[in-house]
Chains A and B, each alone.
Chain A
């Protein structure tokens, strides 16, 4: 049972007792108890919803600010990775074909040409892998920074929200 339902039950029982003492008839009592309890429950639920929305809003706001603060780094990490991917794809789809065509047009023996091509592909891709690792390191570092910062922000939001939560629980009311 959630807190607002619990509170509704307590309220219904107390109202019922009071209305009995006032000798209100059963039909009138039932209408009154149900109307008052429902109104209070809606008010309590609204408060909880507001607190939850406020938490989400504060978190989203912090998150957007975080992205804004790291905008340049996110853009940079994305650009460097994209550049390496583009170069790799261009090498295999275009550049390599041009190299093979040049070796053929010069009439380099096919076995000799294959040896050169093999070494070219090995060296070129290993160098590209080095670039890709560098770009990846940049992304991993950035993700680490964002994670750390957002963890700190969540804690800050929780601390900001906690004091505004109601201190009286339904159990307190019943006491």
Chain B
């Protein structure tokens, strides 16, 4: 029979490993996009070669959308590995939400040094949103969907900003 402490050690290890794997997967997308010549990177590199502002906005957009991809990775990995384990699922989601928050805060810190309008504004909104979710102490399935939705919303907000600037 497995002791309670052994069970919790096992879960602790599983949970840390899960978070490390999701972060690693997120990093691997970054490298893949550069090596496999993603249009999100290479197209604006040529298109805005002579427009520094739009080029920088494109770079910000790429990295912001890349970071919000984290929650999509977490979502599908949790479904795969913890689908029938509600309590474990909630604990892992909570741990990942803290990591996601830290990821966004790191980006925001970097961007605030360069005062980058829209990207920084979106990041700040996402951070506030996530902090509120964590404070409730329960990342339920509903709020969980809302986090995944950030990824799509951020992309759209940037597109809108680009259209405005180009016009």
Contacts and interface: CB of A to CB of B under 8 A. Distances in A.
A141 B46 CA distance: 49
Interface in A79-134: 80, 83-84, 87, 95, 98-99, 102-103, 106, 108-109, 112-113, 115-116, 119-120, 122-124, 126-131, 134
B49 interface: yes
B110 interface: yes
Given A115-B59, A123-B107, A126-B106, A131 B23 contact: yes
Interface in B1-43: 9, 12-13, 16-17, 19-20, 23-24, 26-27, 30-31, 34-35, 37, 41-42
Contact of B30 (A87, A112, A120): A120
A106 B37 contact: yes
Interface in A40-67: none
A108 B103 contact: no
Given A112-B49, A116-B45, A124 B27 contact: yes
A137 B67 CA distance: 23
A102 B13 CA distance: 37
Using C-beta atoms within 8 Å of the partner chain, give the interface range for chain B: 20 to 34
A87 B102 contact: no
Contact of A102 (B16, B19, B34, B67): B34
Contact of A98 (B16, B27, B30, B35): B35
B20 A131 contact: yes
A123 B37 contact: no
Given A119-B63, A126-B107, 10 more contacts: A73-B9, A87-B27, A103-B34, A123-B63, A131-B23, A131-B24, A134-B19, A135-B16, A137-B16, A138-B16
17 contacts: A72-B13, A73-B13, A99-B35, A106-B37, A112-B49, A115-B56, A116-B41, A123-B66, A123-B67, A126-B103, A127-B27, A129-B106, A130-B106, A131-B20, A131-B23, A134-B20, A134-B99
Interface of B: 9, 12-13, 16-17, 19-20, 23-24, 26-27, 30-31, 34-35, 37, 41-42, 45-46, 49, 55-56, 59, 63, 66-67, 99, 102-103, 106-107, 110
